[in-house]
Amino acid sequence: MPQEFKELDVRSILQNGGQPFEEIMRAVGALQPGEGLRLFAPFEPQPLFRVMDSKGFDHDVVELDNGDFEVRFVPRTEEEVAISENAVSPELWAEPSVDLDLSDLDPPEPMQRILSEAEALTSGEVIFAVLSREPVFLFPELTRRGHQWVGNFDRDGSAYRIMIRIGPGATNA
Amino acid sequence: MPGVTISRWTMSYFAAALICLAAGLASTASGFGYPSVPVEAPESLVIIHLIAIGWLGLLFAGSLLQFVPVLASRQLQSPHLALPTLLLTIGGLVLLLTGFLGLADILPFLAWTLPFGGVVLTFAFASLCWMVIGTLVTNRPLSLPAKFVALGCAPLIGVAVMGLLFTLPLSGLTDNSYLVRLVLEAAPAHAYLGLVGWMTVTAVGVSYRLLTMFLLSPEKVRSTSRAAGWLMVAALAAVLYDIVFAGAGTGRKWPLDVAVAIGGTAILLYAIDVYSIFKERKRKSVELNVLSSLVAVAMLVISFILFAVSIAIGNVADMVIPIAYLFTFGWLTGLGLGQLYKIVAFMTWLEFYGPVLGRTPVPRVQDLVNERRASVWFLLYFGATSIATIALIHDVPDVFRWVTIAQLMAVCALAFEFIQARRLALVPASTKLPTGNAISRLFLPSFNGRS
């Protein structure tokens, strides 16, 4: 899912000689889970980066045309990984033997390609694939065929990554 | 557990919906209801509810059962409610129509049929909302499309409860002055809640996901989309104000006008979003379902422009019905038929070929339909709808009825195309499934445990 941001502009507070720190912390406290903060400031707020880092946010800084800065604080996803019910210890899986970039294919072609590749592999082999969307219809079909999988979105939500471990003697239902 | 499977009863919803659409168009073509009698006559109410609940309501409900899990990437909450909800909707609608036919002296009038129908329909829609909201909340924070769909549930309950309240004075069960005034004053607000509040808000939300998916366009949260959502919330608040004060007898005309103006602004923002999604697409060739959706969005914008112009000219009273007609048949029905064309083929493909993907040659989803032939039917449908709107504006009922026949033909032809897709009649011979693979599942689910 695309990253959503709340916006906060502290330029006027600083211009009037105010201290925006509390305002910023209030905005951070009011963020929804997964939501980021887009902050506009007249300078790079270095001290804030440490504070936000300890709160679990990474940051990107963009200098605007007028010399001000836009800082995007993005919550570090606590590795929100989807995992199939039958998956065991994905960290011990073999290196992927097939690497697929399917991000330019129309749905449902990615599903079709992955299932075709899976048929050609032997038990224990691993497929890594990148897709433009979460393949929600693929998940049940993989599980039904006895394959294990783990997957998640990349940080800005523009691609979905999935690892599939081929099951023993895929079940023909 | 993430992942989505085929919604078992969605095809049954679609089949029932298409039958209601064809029945509504056939009745209109035969001269039953509006424009032969006033729009508030019971005969017209039969057609209006046949289209609004029977066609659009069942179409939207069936689609939501399949797509809300996609939006949430979770299995549907309480899927066992899908069939009871379908049966309650059909049962409630039949009671309602029987009541209206009774009021029109066509059937014997029984005072309890209308309120009983209202109660049954309220239960049906509450059950639908339970499944929809229950599924969406399992994956928070809600994505933008999910927020629109969730927002649409409030007016859906509102329109059902309001309809139920209408039935009490209509059946002569009460002469409570608040309710009587509500029936007299608040019917436009009732229509707004259903057609704009529920259906349009839902369609806008779902299309943000579907259009980006079909066009391979980046899915972003645009500020225009958020603004459209908040404007719809404001418009619904204005409608609520209108309803409460209409019943109290202190109603004014402005709240509903404000609701239309705000809703119209939201629609313009939505149209801008659709344009950006289209412009940023990676997929150059555009399929028929997207094309027909774009025509539907254009008709949505035109209906708002017509409304704005008629306010400027001062002939809103004459234009309300043609505009509501264009909105219902150009926008909602046009969009619905366009998406059905894709959804039926896709669900059929997934249902029959999903289990054998990668193991045997399978057709493409496009191979299940004949796009050239279907585009002729869509052209006929949208052409007829445009002419019908003009006929209503110029008040030529005969022309209106003739083009309704053309519309009916287009709808029946499209229904035939959907059946062809369901029967896998058009797939290349090399990808035909072995016989015995239950091709007969036209609109009922398989009962052998899978799918």
Q: What would the pLDDT profile of A119-148 be if each residue is shown by its tens digit?
A: 888 888 999 999 988 888 999 899 889 899
> Could you tell me if residue A68 is inside a domain?
yes
Please indicate, yes or no, whether residues A105 and A159 belong to a single structural domain of this protein. yes
ipTM: 0.83
Contact between B296 and B334 under an 8 Å Cβ cutoff? The reply is yes
The pLDDT value given to residue B317: 83
Please indicate, yes or no, whether residues A52 and A104 belong to a single structural domain of this protein. no
Query: Which ranges of chain A does DSSP label H, i.e. alpha helix?
Result: 11-15, 21-29, 46-54, 109-120, 138-144
Q: Please state the pTM of the whole predicted model.
A: 0.85
Bridge-based pairing state of the strands A160-165 and A126-131: antiparallel
Beta bridge pairs of residue A59: A73
Comparison of pLDDT for A22 and B322, the residue scoring more = B322
Phi then psi for residue B181, to 5 deg, are -65, -35
Domain end: A19, A46, A75, which one?
A: A75
Instruction: Show the tokens assigned to B224.
Output: 């225009």
Residue A171 pLDDT exceeds 50: no
**CB interface of A with B, residues 21-80, below 8 Å:** 32-35
The pLDDT value given to residue B435: 55
What's the whole-number mean pLDDT along residues A155-173? Answer: 75
Out of A33, A35, A134, closest to residue B73 by CB:
A134
Residue A76 pLDDT exceeds 80: no
Residues B307 and B397: their CA atoms lie apart, in Å, by 21
Phi then psi for residue B195, to 5 deg, are -80, -40
Residue A140 sits at the chain B interface (C-beta within 8 Å): yes
Please indicate, yes or no, whether residues A109 and A160 belong to a single structural domain of this protein. yes
CA distance B58 to chain A (A): 23
Weakest-pLDDT range from A77-81, A99-103, A113-117, B243-247: A77-81
Please indicate, yes or no, whether residues A70 and A95 belong to a single structural domain of this protein. no
> Could you tell me if residue A113 is inside a domain?
yes
Domain end: A75, A96, A123, which one?
A: A75
> Could you tell me if residue A171 is inside a domain?
no
- Count the residues in chain B: 451
- Run of H or E including A154: none
The pLDDT value given to residue B448: 59
Beta carbons of A106 and B450 less than 8 Å apart: no
CA distance A6 to chain B (A): 11
Contact between A150 and A82 under an 8 Å Cβ cutoff? The reply is yes
Please indicate, yes or no, whether residues A90 and A158 belong to a single structural domain of this protein. yes
SS3 A60: strand
CA distances from B65 to B76, B173, B286, B340 (A): 7, 36, 26, 14
> Could you tell me if residue A170 is inside a domain?
no
The pLDDT value given to residue B400: 96
Please indicate, yes or no, whether residues A98 and A52 belong to a single structural domain of this protein. no
**All residues at 6 or more sequence positions from A151 whose CB lies less than 8 Å from its CB, including other chains:** A81, A82, A134, A135, A160, A161, A162, A163
**All residues at 6 or more sequence positions from A139 whose CB lies less than 8 Å from its CB, including other chains:** A82, A84, A149, B2, B3, B4
Amino acid at B137: V
Residues A88 and B221: their CA atoms lie apart, in Å, by 35
> Could you tell me if residue A134 is inside a domain?
yes
The pLDDT value given to residue A167: 87
Question: How many helices (H) and strands (E) in chain B?
Answer: 16, 0
Q: What is the CATH number of the domain that holds A29?
A: 3.30.110.40
Q: List CB contacts (< 8 A) between A1 and chain B.
A: 143, 219
Please indicate, yes or no, whether residues A89 and A70 belong to a single structural domain of this protein. no
Maximal C-alpha separation, chain B: 70
Q: List CB contacts (< 8 A) between A104 and chain B.
A: 216, 282
Contact between B57 and B20 under an 8 Å Cβ cutoff? The reply is no
CA distances from B171 to B102, B104, B106, B246, B277 (A): 10, 12, 15, 20, 48
**CB interface of B with A, residues 42-71, below 8 Å:** 69-70
CA distance A17 to chain B (A): 31
Contact between B17 and B86 under an 8 Å Cβ cutoff? The reply is no
Please indicate, yes or no, whether residues A87 and A152 belong to a single structural domain of this protein. yes
Which band of pLDDT confidence, cut at 50, 70 and 90, is reported for residue A78?
Answer: low
Please indicate, yes or no, whether residues A65 and A94 belong to a single structural domain of this protein. no
Please count the residue pairs, one from chain A and one from chain B, whose beta carbons lie less than 8 angstroms apart. Answer: 71
Residue B429 sits at the chain A interface (C-beta within 8 Å): no
Beta carbons of A85 and B214 less than 8 Å apart: no
Residue closest to B205 by CA, chosen among B226, B180, B178 = B226
Q: List CB contacts (< 8 A) between A114 and chain B.
A: 358
Q: Which range in A2-6, A57-61, B244-248, B373-377 is most confidently predicted, on average pLDDT?
A: B373-377
Domain count, chain A: 2
Residues B59 and B333: their CA atoms lie apart, in Å, by 9
Domain end: A32, A48, A75, which one?
A: A75
SS3 A17: coil
Please indicate, yes or no, whether residues A133 and A94 belong to a single structural domain of this protein. yes
Residue closest to B76 by CA, chosen among B14, B10, B145 = B10
Edge-to-edge strand list for the sheet holding A160-165: A82-83, A148-153, A160-165, A126-131, A98-101
- Run of H or E including A99: strand A98-101
Residues B6 and B347: their CA atoms lie apart, in Å, by 7
Please indicate, yes or no, whether residues A91 and A160 belong to a single structural domain of this protein. yes
What is chain B's pLDDT, residue by residue, as a tens digit (451 residues)?
678 888 889 999 999 999 999 999 999 999 999 988 999 999 999 999 999 999 999 999 999 999 999 999 889 999 999 999 999 999 999 999 999 999 999 999 888 999 999 999 999 999 999 999 999 998 878 889 999 999 999 999 999 999 999 999 999 899 898 999 999 889 999 999 999 999 999 999 999 998 888 888 888 888 999 999 999 999 999 999 999 888 887 767 788 889 999 999 999 999 999 999 999 988 888 889 999 999 999 999 999 999 989 988 888 888 999 999 999 999 999 999 999 999 999 999 999 898 888 888 899 999 999 999 999 999 999 999 999 999 999 999 999 999 999 999 999 999 999 999 998 888 888 888 765 555 557 777 776 544 3
CA distances from A128 to A13, A90, A99, A162, B140 (A): 49, 12, 5, 6, 27
> Could you tell me if residue A172 is inside a domain?
no
**Domain residue limits at A36:** 5-75
Query: Which ranges of B5-143 does DSSP label H, i.e. alpha helix?
Result: 10-29, 42-49, 58-72, 82-103, 113-136
Residues A90 and A96: their CA atoms lie apart, in Å, by 12
CA distances from B409 to B21, B121, B371 (A): 12, 30, 17
Please indicate, yes or no, whether residues A104 and A63 belong to a single structural domain of this protein. no
Residue closest to B162 by CA, chosen among B187, B130, B131 = B187
SS3 A107: coil
> Could you tell me if residue A159 is inside a domain?
yes
> Could you tell me if residue A137 is inside a domain?
yes
